[in-house]
């Protein structure tokens, strides 16, 4: 939750033109033009600049670039999320994790020198050895997802700790939910 | 170490006693749900404090060790020494009428003497009703090993009465976890079955799990994450020498010994998915015994030593399967709930014990392999790692008490027995060692 807020704040700042200059073409994104379009959106949903009524035709290119920069910043912010959660005795990647994993996959694709270690975990329920295999199955599911989305196998190492390294101590539903996870660890 | 001096017909007595015991066990089976009543069916026995001649080391008293062992089994109810009317140490001092009055079925008397650096125990066991001696022996141990001597006597008494070898001289291996200098500290330990004389065999900041005893009790196989990933090691207890035997990419886990100690079953995922393999320890060659997209793990040889039990989630959730031989088709054993895992068969082919989920709780259960009937044995709710005693009479497992992992021992039919104290941190992953002669 906290991290997706982060992503949204970044997107807002971007719309406000504060990230001007980070476009890949090196051109300066027209500043000021969209200032008025940026409402102080407190729920942080993605903010698109450009008011139809304002009809700013002169900055169509800048708009594209700005969108690209925004996308990149959004992806970067998404990548702050490195832990992915699972339901009991499953290795199914949750729908809400997909965008974030795509961001990680693209980052790995764009940075072939970057490696990542996927650490699979299970909650304490059930048996240790089965949980070890379950943690591996979860790490493998994430690995496959990253590869399908552009990362290469050589960049990824997996290890399962089973139920041995809980993120949260305790035997509550909430502790278990937080312990059924795969963590991405970048070198 | 021991010299038998008793020569009467053991067999006849054992047969008579076996009948009694069967009655006793039958009665006890009905008490499963009320574990506090288990003691009603336990056999009353008096272990009289042994007379001491010569310099006997202070500290643990033989009679206390024996009393505690027998009570631990859940099958005996030893009389506290202060309730005894007399303290005989040899046959001619035993007045059966006194013991009958106290409601006792058996009386053990004995005396200790010193022979150089050894303590010699001469002891006799009497059946009070029949006014008959059913066991007489002398046994000796080093003065530093009074507990060894005590457990030995417990084994003999247990066997004389029940017809089943005692397992009080066997060892437990388990893993403790606490925090030291802000880091987790995993320690593989070996102790007596009463938790005494614990010795640390391996210490690591990374997880250690799944200790498994070699059939001769000289080695432990286990999984250690000390290199950052799981690998299987074999540890010679006498020398401390360790060998890393499996360090393939992916999982290296769930080691289980063959009867001859020459090979291990293990779970590897080097080919992409958790499968069970057999490793020849001399050549380190592995051959694959399962081949399925599902998780296959937690293998254990069956009582015949030919086939194996294992856990597989090929049906959608973990269930217990059995292969008659290592290359036959697996047959599913458990159907009672959606989660059954980590099978541990007895050595007669009667039962398989495992972790069983019922509603939200995890218990230890067993299935009768002949009838298919499943019985839940524990009432605790976060149970794992069942390990059967080598005589098949007791079962140790890990459970939670006040949020901490502890070890609990029950009799194999589920009557509650005892929890092992865990003074610091968590205790888990128990493995009951073999009977070593």
Higher pLDDT, A174 or A48: A174
The DSSP code sequence of B52-66 is EES---SSS-HHHHH
Considering the domain architecture, whether residues B142 and B88 belong to the same structural domain is answered as yes
The DSSP 8-state label assigned to residue B382 in this structure reads: B
pLDDT band of residue A60 (cuts 50, 70, 90) is low
| pLDDT above 90: residue B23 | no
Considering the domain architecture, whether residues B158 and B14 belong to the same structural domain is answered as yes
Q: How far apart (Å, rounded) are the C-alpha atoms in residues A124 and A119? A: 16
Burial of B234 (0-12, 13-18, 19+ CB in 10 A): buried
Give the residue from B162, B184, B214 where a domain finishes: B162
Residue A105 sits at φ, ψ, to 5 deg, of: -65, -45
Q: Which residues of chain A form CATH 3.30.1330.60?
A: 83-186
Q: What pLDDT, on the 0 to 100 scale, is given for residue B421? A: 61
Q: Are the beta carbons of B224 and B201 closer than 8 angstroms?
A: no
Considering the domain architecture, whether residues B153 and B202 belong to the same structural domain is answered as no
Q: Are the beta carbons of A66 and A14 closer than 8 angstroms?
A: yes
Q: What CATH number did the domain enclosing B244 receive?
A: 2.120.10.30
pLDDT in tens, B286-299: 999 999 999 999 99
Q: What pLDDT, on the 0 to 100 scale, is given for residue A3? A: 45
What angle do helix axes A98-110 and A128-148 make, rounded to 10 degrees? Answer: 60
Q: Provide the edge-to-edge strand list for the sheet that holds A83-85.
A: A83-85, A181-186, A116-121, A156-162
Rounded CA Rg of chain A: 20
Q: A137 at the B interface (CB within 8 A)? A: yes
Considering the domain architecture, whether residues B238 and B372 belong to the same structural domain is answered as yes
Considering the domain architecture, whether residues B150 and B206 belong to the same structural domain is answered as no
Averaged pLDDT for residues B140-151: 95
The token pair that represents B101 in the structure block? 């009055």
pLDDT band of residue A58 (cuts 50, 70, 90) is low
Considering the domain architecture, whether residues B22 and B150 belong to the same structural domain is answered as yes
pLDDT band of residue B404 (cuts 50, 70, 90) is confident
pLDDT in tens, A79-138: 999 999 999 999 999 999 999 999 999 999 999 999 999 999 999 999 999 999 999 999
Higher pLDDT, A3 or B365: B365
Q: What pLDDT, on the 0 to 100 scale, is given for residue A187? A: 83
Longest Cα–Cα distance of chain B, Å, equals 72
Flag whether B289 is in a domain: yes
Q: What pLDDT, on the 0 to 100 scale, is given for residue B336? A: 86
Question: Does A159 sit within 8 Å of B429, measured CB to CB?
Answer: no
Flag whether B383 is in a domain: yes
Considering the domain architecture, whether residues B180 and B238 belong to the same structural domain is answered as yes
Q: What pLDDT, on the 0 to 100 scale, is given for residue B171? A: 97
Domain count, chain B: 2
pLDDT in tens, B314-331: 999 999 999 999 889 999
Interface of B with A (CB under 8 A): 207, 209-210, 225, 228-230, 250-251, 253-254, 267, 269, 272, 274, 295, 297-298, 311, 313, 317-318, 339, 341-342, 355, 357, 362, 382, 384-385, 400, 403, 429
Q: For the whole model, what pTM was predicted?
A: 0.82
Give the residue from B140, B162, B184 where a domain finishes: B162
SS3 of residue B370 by DSSP? coil
The DSSP code sequence of A64-94 is HHHHHHHHHHHHHHHTT--EEE--TT--PPP
Considering the domain architecture, whether residues B155 and B190 belong to the same structural domain is answered as no
Question: Does B311 sit within 8 Å of A132, measured CB to CB?
Answer: no
pLDDT band of residue B416 (cuts 50, 70, 90) is low
Q: What CATH number did the domain enclosing B79 receive?
A: 3.40.50.10070
Least confident of A58-67, B113-122, B224-233, B366-375: A58-67
* CA dist A154 → A112, A157, B244 (Å): 9, 8, 26
Class of domain A83-186: alpha beta
Flag whether B437 is in a domain: no
Q: How far apart (Å, rounded) are the C-alpha atoms in residues B59 and B143? A: 11
Give the residue from B129, B162, B195 where a domain finishes: B162
- Percent share of chain A, pLDDT over 70: 67
Q: A153 at the B interface (CB within 8 A)? A: no
| pLDDT above 70: residue A16 | no
Considering the domain architecture, whether residues B180 and B92 belong to the same structural domain is answered as no
| pLDDT above 50: residue A48 | no
- Identify from B221, B321, B341 which residue to disrupt to test chain A contact, counting A C-beta atoms within 10 A and taking the largest count: B341
Question: Does B274 sit within 8 Å of A127, measured CB to CB?
Answer: no
| pLDDT above 80: residue B420 | no
pLDDT in tens, B151-205: 999 999 999 999 999 999 999 999 999 999 999 999 999 999 988 999 999 999 9
Averaged pLDDT for residues A39-62: 45
Q: What pLDDT, on the 0 to 100 scale, is given for residue B253? A: 98
> Which residues span the domain enclosing B314?
171-432
Rounded CA Rg of chain B: 23
Q: What pLDDT, on the 0 to 100 scale, is given for residue A75? A: 85
Closest C-alpha among B166, B254, B252, B181 to residue B211: B254
pLDDT in tens, B50-76: 999 988 888 889 999 999 999 988 899
Considering the domain architecture, whether residues B268 and B135 belong to the same structural domain is answered as no
Q: What pLDDT, on the 0 to 100 scale, is given for residue B422? A: 63
Q: What pLDDT, on the 0 to 100 scale, is given for residue A67? A: 87
Phi/psi-derived region of residue A162, left when phi > 0, alpha when psi is between -120 and 50, beta in every other case: left
Higher pLDDT, A27 or B410: B410
Considering the domain architecture, whether residues B362 and B235 belong to the same structural domain is answered as yes
Considering the domain architecture, whether residues B97 and B193 belong to the same structural domain is answered as no
């Amino acid at each position: 939750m906290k991290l997706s807020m982060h992503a949204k704040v970044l997107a807002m700042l971007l719309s406000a033109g504060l990230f001007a200059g980070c476009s890949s073409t090196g051109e300066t994104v027209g500043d000021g033009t969209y200032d008025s379009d940026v409402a102080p959106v407190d729920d942080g949903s993605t903010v698109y600049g450009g008011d139809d009524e304002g009809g700013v035709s002169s900055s169509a290119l800048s708009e594209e670039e700005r969108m690209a920069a925004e996308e990149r910043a959004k992806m970067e912010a998404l990548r702050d999320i490195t832990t992915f959660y699972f339901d009991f005795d499953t290795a199914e990647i949750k729908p809400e994790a997909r965008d974030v994993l795509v961001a990680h996959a693209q980052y790995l694709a764009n940075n072939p020198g970057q490696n990542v270690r996927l650490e699979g975990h299970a909650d304490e329920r059930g048996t240790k050895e089965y949980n070890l295999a379950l943690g591996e199955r979860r790490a493998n599911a994430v690995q496959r997802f990253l590869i399908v989305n552009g990362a290469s196998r050589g960049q990824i190492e997996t290890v399962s700790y089973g139920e041995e390294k809980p993120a949260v101590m305790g035997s509550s539903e909430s502790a278990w939910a937080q312990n059924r996870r795969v963590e991405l660890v970048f070198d | 170490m021991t010299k038998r001096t008793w020569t009467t017909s053991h067999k006849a007595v054992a047969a008579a006693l076996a009948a009694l015991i069967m009655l006793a066990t039958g009665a006890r089976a009905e008490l499963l749900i009320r574990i506090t009543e288990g003691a009603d069916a336990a056999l009353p026995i008096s272990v009289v404090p042994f007379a001491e001649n010569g310099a006997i080391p202070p500290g643990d008293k033989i009679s206390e060790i024996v009393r505690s062992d027998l009570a631990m089994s859940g099958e005996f109810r030893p009389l506290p020494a202060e309730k005894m009317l007399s303290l005989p140490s040899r046959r001619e001092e035993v007045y059966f009428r006194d013991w009958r009055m106290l409601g006792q079925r058996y009386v053990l008397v004995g005396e200790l003497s010193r022979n150089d650096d050894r303590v010699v125990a001469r002891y006799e066991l009497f059946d009070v009703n029949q006014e008959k001696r059913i066991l007489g022996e002398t046994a000796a141990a080093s003065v530093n090993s009074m507990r060894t001597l005590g457990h030995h006597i417990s084994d003999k008494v247990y066997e004389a009465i029940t017809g089943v070898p005692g397992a009080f001289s066997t060892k437990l291996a388990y893993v403790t976890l606490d925090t030291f200098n802000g880091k987790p500290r995993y320690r593989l330990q070996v102790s007596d079955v009463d938790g005494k004389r614990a010795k640390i065999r391996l210490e690591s900041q990374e997880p250690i799990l799944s200790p498994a005893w070699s059939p001769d009790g000289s080695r432990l196989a286990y999984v250690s994450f000390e290199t950052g990933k799981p690998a299987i090691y074999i540890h010679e207890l006498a020398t401390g020498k360790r060998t890393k035997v499996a360090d393939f990419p992916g999982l290296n886990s769930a080691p289980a010994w063959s009867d001859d100690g020459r090979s291990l079953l293990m779970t590897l995922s080097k080919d992409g998915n958790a499968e069970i393999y057999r490793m020849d320890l001399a050549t380190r060659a592995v051959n694959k015994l399962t081949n399925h997209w599902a998780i296959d793990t937690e293998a254990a040889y069956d009582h015949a030593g030919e086939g194996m039990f294992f856990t597989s989630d090929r049906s959608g959730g973990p269930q217990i399967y059995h292969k008659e031989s290592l290359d036959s088709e697996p047959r599913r054993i458990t159907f009672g709930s959606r989660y059954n895992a980590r099978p541990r068969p007895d050595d007669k082919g009667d039962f398989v014990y495992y972790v069983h989920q019922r509603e939200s709780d995890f218990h230890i259960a067993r299935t009768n392999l002949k009838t298919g009937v499943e019985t839940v044995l524990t009432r605790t709710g976060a149970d794992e790692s069942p390990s059967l005693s080598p005589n098949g009479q007791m079962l140790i497992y890990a459970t939670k008490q006040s949020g901490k992992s502890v070890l609990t021992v029950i009799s194999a039919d589920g009557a509650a027995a005892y929890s092992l104290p865990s003074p610091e941190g968590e205790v888990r992953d128990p493995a009951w060692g073999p009977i070593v002669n």
